[in-house]
Structure 1
Amino acid sequence: MGKRKIVFLLAAVLVFAFAAGAQAGDAKPRVVYPKKTELDFEGTKIEGEIRNPSEFYFQHKPDEKMDSLVKRRRNFHREMLRDAVLGK
């Protein structure tokens, strides 16, 4: 009985090994892209207007509102009373 178990386990391992190998062969081929692409525009006439991205950014930039670092004072009553009393 011990030999039958060993033969059965060996057969099962071989079946699974061949099944795994068959699945690996069905995998999609790997796509390899070149590291560098060179475009040759020689002999091609290109018409248009050169525009820097920074120029485009500043022309179409929305108006940004910045908060002032100086606190805006609501009233000057203390200073006006002080000046009136001291007579500056």
Structure 2
Amino acid sequence: MASVRYEGVSFRYSKKSPWTIEDLRMEVKEGEFWAVVGSSGCGKSTFLRLTSGLERPEKGKIYFDGQDFTSVPTQKRDVSIVFQSPC
């Protein structure tokens, strides 16, 4: 399992919409387990879509084991997510 680091990650669905995720800074170290929880509409699915590469951050970078994965194509990320229901 790789470490994952988010540095100043911000995302919104359009230039006119509010930020869905703004200036996210966190690190999950190798071997740690974590869960994404929160109320409906708080950005959980967006966070997972950014991590998996289905969306790209407007600002900031996402690193896997110290490598910038922000520009790595989705199919080369080797990241899997399982949604409770289709998005």
Q: Same fold (TM over 0.5)?
A: no
Structure with more of its chain in strand, by fraction: 2
User: Which TM-score applies when normalising by structure 2?
Assistant: 0.15
Structure with more of its chain in helix, by fraction: 1
User: Which TM-score applies when normalising by structure 1?
Assistant: 0.15
